[in-house]
Chains A and B, each alone.
Chain A
Amino acid sequence: MIIQFICRAILLGVPLLYGSTGEIVTEKSGHLNLGIPGIMYVGAISGVVGSFLYENSCGNDIANMNPVLAVLIPLLCAIAGATLMGLIYSFLTVTLHANQNVTGLALTTLGIGLGNFLGASLINITKSELPSIALTKTSSFFSAKLPFADDLGWFGELFLSHDFLTYTAIIIALVVSFVLNRTRVGLNLRSVGENPATADAAGINVVKYRYLATCIGSAIAGLGGLQYVMAYASGVWSNNAFGDRGWMAIALVIFALWKPSMAIVGSFVFGALCNANNYIQGLGTETQELFKMLPYVVTIVVLIITSMRKKREHQPPASLGINYFREER
């Protein structure tokens, strides 16, 4: 029961981990990208479109499908779709100096609208009775487990039974953490987010770093959308099923104090909190809704505690949300 609860928490947490790792990379460059929910949504639908086309081209027979391609095509589609969204965001805010909050919110609206449009179109093509598309074959490749995981009892279930995107999420978070704190690129990126004028004077290309961080961050976040469809939802896409996971990912960034390694723990805590209502007996529907607030309540508590402790290292990047113009006088 407890093992099951933890596994479920991890499964729920992984999309959030992708989203918040991506947002951390972006925010470290000084971009408050509120488009993350839309970007994750676009990542998901891009992957769905990719795998839909591939499944159809293989004549709907799983034997014809190449496992490598079946994974690679949705993966690349998700990355491409999400990166494109990041590119739009960067172009608007860096090149055209548009307001970051407005741009981000517009991208969220755009992403969700685009996702629903493409989703509805695919449903229309399949002439399905249900308002959803099932890509169970592709999903089976995504959620393949290590063959020996089941033989190792609780250990196997807890640590080895997850889909490969879960492990990738943790690896990406650790790599990002290493890059941010131990490399020159990370130092440069952090300086761009803290004080772009200083970075500029030090010869760092602020524009390049902001573009790259935002696009890479978006790509990472897009994978979260894909993982949600392929592993969590077993390959079933239905419009709006992704819910408010994108916002939760942004809340998680604050919870994790802009540290990717903290985001790993945080995402599983959030996953557990989201799921707690299903494991507590005798809750009415209205109390269940109250339980769903828990991640946000915890985020607020963390915010209160960190702002009371006032440690500078725990504050957001100093230039978060502020565009940079070199010749502003």
Chain B
Amino acid sequence: MDKQPAIELKNITKRFGKVVANKDVNLTAYRGEILSILGENGSGKTTLMNMISGIYFPDEGQIFIDEKEAVITSPKDAFSYKIGMIHQHFKLVDVFSAAENIVLGIEDGKYDLKTSTEQIKKISEQYGFELDPEKKIYTMSVSEKQTVEIIKVLYRGADILILDEPTAVLTPQETEKLFNILRRMRDDGKCIIIITHKLHEVLSLSDRVSVLRKGEYVGTVNTAETSESELTEMMVGKKVELNIERNEPHDTVDRLIVNGITCVDRMGATVLDDISFTAKSGEILGIAGIAGSGQRELLESIAGLQHLSSGEILYLNPKNDTTENLRDKTPMQIRNMGVRLSFVPEDRLGMGLVGNMDIVDNMMLRSYSKGHSIFLKRKKPKDLAMKIINDLEVVTPSAATPVRRLSGGNVQKVLVGREIAASPTVLMVAYPVRGLDINSSYMIYNLLNEQKEKGVAVIFVGEDLDVLLELCDRIMVIGSGRITGVVDGRTATKEEIGLLMTKSKHEGGEQ
């Protein structure tokens, strides 16, 4: 290869207190190529890239740019080496326009938004972006915001671009568009580094893949010469079965019938618009959609946490074959009616668990009303806590450790474990594997499948379409608070779902 190395890392180590985030990492990225940095959550990918972009400074090791040693102590230094980072959490000022955000922090020449706007339009044309420079950030979609971020670094003349999980929030179509733009930049001679944990993206986009595991550099392979299973093995350190078992649903009966519910939020916007569907026992119903399309409100409505302006939520109680309307009931009323509903919200430490309390006390949050004396009885919750710790392999010093000190995956296991232990008939989970490593993710999928086998009606809100397609029996797609379609999880394609996600008009509905 006659490619020029754009950036080289040598023996980079970074610690945060006692935690080693990166240890002896060596890495080279060339001009005119797309390099993927692959690793699980917590493997130190983002920390490593933050050191290149000047947010952190390495404790040991050297960084070479164009074969000369570079000292990058601040984001400004990074700009001067033409390094641009597009963060996973956008660094944009909401009340500023796109143009204002793009010129923010540039200190050469006169402050002149008009000339800058022209320049932005030129860059947009060159690489095929669509962007109105005068649009305010807070009115933009996620994909538009990302466009602003990318143009921001290009405007500064960056030729080494680092993208941190750029596709996490995009629909398949938007992802494809982004990839085309990135390929165009590569052909233009830029060095593109993309951080991701999605294997299929790595395989379809990048030229080479570097793998990190627990902060350590594992190795680099050419994409053309590797496979999904080899990459997984490098990433996890052992062979992992990547197939989710999906049995045909059996003995399904209607469990929860949602009938034309509409919900208006405090700002007066309609967040759920005439949603109707049926969740059946022994089946996993997936809910797909762009983040913020009403998934949270939908689950909260069923759990009794949202006020509805119309519609009804009917629960068919298997014990006595009665039908109850859950609309406008509080969670406590719902529970007292004998409805066994479990809810794993997306905001684990905000809505699901209390971070400062230990695992045992968090178990009691679900069962405190069972006690009849004025003193707490800790025996049962403690047994449950120990059972969850053992069964789900929760890594914790003890059951008395505050849950906020556990890692994301372990917090999630505690929460899912508690909700399942309530032996629900309806189990609602929102983004249950967000931030989890592969092993934990598959453990959660297996737990959901187990519940399905037991005849529970599972409602699964997910973001990774590949997982939804592998796990769910039916997938309901929502866009802007409306159902845009319901597809069969076994036959539907990603593209089909992606199109439904962006469709905002009410054309689909319950089949």
Is the C-beta of A218 less than 8 angstroms from some C-beta in chain B?
no
Is the C-beta of A120 less than 8 angstroms from some C-beta in chain B?
no
Is the C-beta of A198 less than 8 angstroms from some C-beta in chain B?
yes
Q: Smallest distance from the beta carbon of A91 to chain B beta carbons, Å?
A: 22
B76 proximity list for chain A (CB < 8 A)? 203
A194 touches B96 (CB 8 A): yes
Which range holds the interface residue count of chain B? 20 to 34
The residue among B53, B94, B136, B267 with the most chain A CB atoms within 10 A of its own CB is: B94
Given contacts A198-B93, A312-B94, A318-B94, 14 further A-B contacts (CB under 8 A): A182-B111, A187-B103, A187-B104, A191-B93, A194-B94, A198-B92, A199-B104, A200-B75, A202-B91, A203-B107, A312-B95, A313-B95, A315-B95, A327-B56
- B window 74-109: CB within 8 A of A: 74-76, 79, 85, 87, 91-96, 100, 103-105, 107
B104 touches A194 (CB 8 A): no
B95 touches A194 (CB 8 A): yes
B55 proximity list for chain A (CB < 8 A)? 200-201, 326
B79 touches A203 (CB 8 A): yes
**Would you give the 0/1 interface string for A179-207, flagging 1 where the beta carbon is closer than 8 Å to chain B?**
00011100110110011011111111000
Q: Smallest distance from the beta carbon of B94 to chain A beta carbons, Å?
A: 7
A194 proximity list for chain B (CB < 8 A)? 93-96
**Would you give the 0/1 interface string for B106-132, flagging 1 where the beta carbon is closer than 8 Å to chain A?**
010001000000000000000000000
Q: Smallest distance from the beta carbon of B492 to chain A beta carbons, Å?
A: 38
Is the C-beta of B138 less than 8 angstroms from some C-beta in chain A?
yes
Is the C-beta of B16 less than 8 angstroms from some C-beta in chain A?
yes
**Would you give the 0/1 interface string for A207-230, flagging 1 where the beta carbon is closer than 8 Å to chain B?**
000000000000000000000000
A326 proximity list for chain B (CB < 8 A)? 55
Is the C-beta of A127 less than 8 angstroms from some C-beta in chain B?
no
**Would you give the 0/1 interface string for B1-45, flagging 1 where the beta carbon is closer than 8 Å to chain A?**
000000000000000100000000000000000000000000000
B93's contact among A182, A195, A329, by CB below 8 Å, is which?
A: A195
Supposing A202-B91, A203-B74, A203-B76 touch, asked if A191 and B267 sit within 8 A by C-beta, the answer is no
B105 proximity list for chain A (CB < 8 A)? 188, 191, 199, 202-204
Bound CA span A312–B95, Å:
7
A327 proximity list for chain B (CB < 8 A)? 16, 56
B104's contact among A188, A197, A310, A315, by CB below 8 Å, is which?
A: A188
**Cβ-closest chain A residue relative to B102:** A202
Bound CA span A70–B95, Å:
45
Which residues of A are interface residues toward B (Cβ below 8 A)? 182-184, 187-188, 190-191, 194-195, 197-204, 310, 312-313, 315, 318, 326-327, 329
Q: Smallest distance from the beta carbon of B20 to chain A beta carbons, Å?
A: 14
- B window 132-146: CB within 8 A of A: 136, 138
Bound CA span A197–B103, Å:
16
B138 proximity list for chain A (CB < 8 A)? 312
A182 proximity list for chain B (CB < 8 A)? 111
A310 touches B92 (CB 8 A): no
**Cβ-closest chain A residue relative to B92:** A198
Chain B interface secondary structure, helix, strand, loop or mixed?
Answer: loop
B136 touches A195 (CB 8 A): no
B74 touches A183 (CB 8 A): no
Q: Smallest distance from the beta carbon of A72 to chain B beta carbons, Å?
A: 33
Q: What are 27 A-B contacts defined by CB distance under 8 Å?
A: A182-B111, A183-B111, A184-B107, A187-B100, A187-B103, A187-B104, A187-B111, A188-B105, A194-B94, A194-B96, A195-B94, A198-B91, A198-B92, A198-B104, A199-B93, A200-B55, A201-B55, A201-B85, A201-B87, A202-B75, A202-B91, A203-B76, A203-B105, A312-B138, A313-B95, A318-B94, A327-B16
The residue among B53, B87, B103, B111 with the most chain A CB atoms within 10 A of its own CB is: B111
Bound CA span A201–B49, Å:
13
B16's contact among A184, A187, A191, A329, by CB below 8 Å, is which?
A: A329
B79 proximity list for chain A (CB < 8 A)? 203
**Cβ-closest chain B residue relative to A202:** B105
B96 touches A191 (CB 8 A): yes
Bound CA span A313–B100, Å:
14
Bound CA span A327–B51, Å:
12
**Cβ-closest chain B residue relative to A184:** B111
B100 proximity list for chain A (CB < 8 A)? 187
B104 proximity list for chain A (CB < 8 A)? 187-188, 191, 198-199, 202, 204
A201 touches B95 (CB 8 A): no
Q: Smallest distance from the beta carbon of B182 to chain A beta carbons, Å?
A: 21
Q: Smallest distance from the beta carbon of B271 to chain A beta carbons, Å?
A: 15
A318 proximity list for chain B (CB < 8 A)? 94-95
**Cβ-closest chain B residue relative to A185:** B111
Task: Report, nearest first, the 9 A-B pairs whose CB atoms are least far apart.
Answer: A202-B105, A203-B76, A198-B91, A184-B111, A203-B105, A194-B93, A201-B91, A202-B104, A203-B75
B267 proximity list for chain A (CB < 8 A)? 310
**Cβ-closest chain B residue relative to A317:** B95
Bound CA span A187–B55, Å:
21
Bound CA span A286–B474, Å:
71
Bound CA span A183–B107, Å:
11
Bound CA span A154–B217, Å:
81
A198 proximity list for chain B (CB < 8 A)? 91-93, 104
The residue among A191, A194, A200, A202 with the most chain B CB atoms within 10 A of its own CB is: A202
Bound CA span A313–B75, Å:
28
Bound CA span A187–B106, Å:
11
B94 proximity list for chain A (CB < 8 A)? 194-195, 312, 318
Bound CA span A187–B92, Å:
13
Bound CA span A188–B76, Å:
14
A183 proximity list for chain B (CB < 8 A)? 111
**Cβ-closest chain A residue relative to B267:** A310
Bound CA span A318–B53, Å:
25
Q: Smallest distance from the beta carbon of A47 to chain B beta carbons, Å?
A: 35
Bound CA span A312–B135, Å:
13
Bound CA span A183–B94, Å:
19
Q: Smallest distance from the beta carbon of B120 to chain A beta carbons, Å?
A: 15
**Cβ-closest chain A residue relative to B138:** A312
Q: Smallest distance from the beta carbon of A4 to chain B beta carbons, Å?
A: 42
**Cβ-closest chain A residue relative to B95:** A312
Bound CA span A190–B105, Å:
12
Bound CA span A187–B96, Å:
9
Bound CA span A198–B85, Å:
12
**Cβ-closest chain B residue relative to A193:** B93
Bound CA span A312–B53, Å:
31
Bound CA span A315–B107, Å:
28
Q: Smallest distance from the beta carbon of B396 to chain A beta carbons, Å?
A: 20
Bound CA span A198–B267, Å:
27
Supposing A187-B111, A203-B76, A312-B136 touch, asked if A197 and B16 sit within 8 A by C-beta, the answer is no
**Cβ-closest chain B residue relative to A313:** B95
Bound CA span A270–B53, Å:
49
Q: Smallest distance from the beta carbon of B180 to chain A beta carbons, Å?
A: 26
**Cβ-closest chain A residue relative to B112:** A184
A201 touches B103 (CB 8 A): no
Bound CA span A315–B138, Å:
13
B92 proximity list for chain A (CB < 8 A)? 195, 198
**Cβ-closest chain B residue relative to A326:** B55
Bound CA span A191–B55, Å:
18
The residue among A198, A315, A318 with the most chain B CB atoms within 10 A of its own CB is: A198
Bound CA span A4–B175, Å:
68
Q: Smallest distance from the beta carbon of A314 to chain B beta carbons, Å?
A: 10
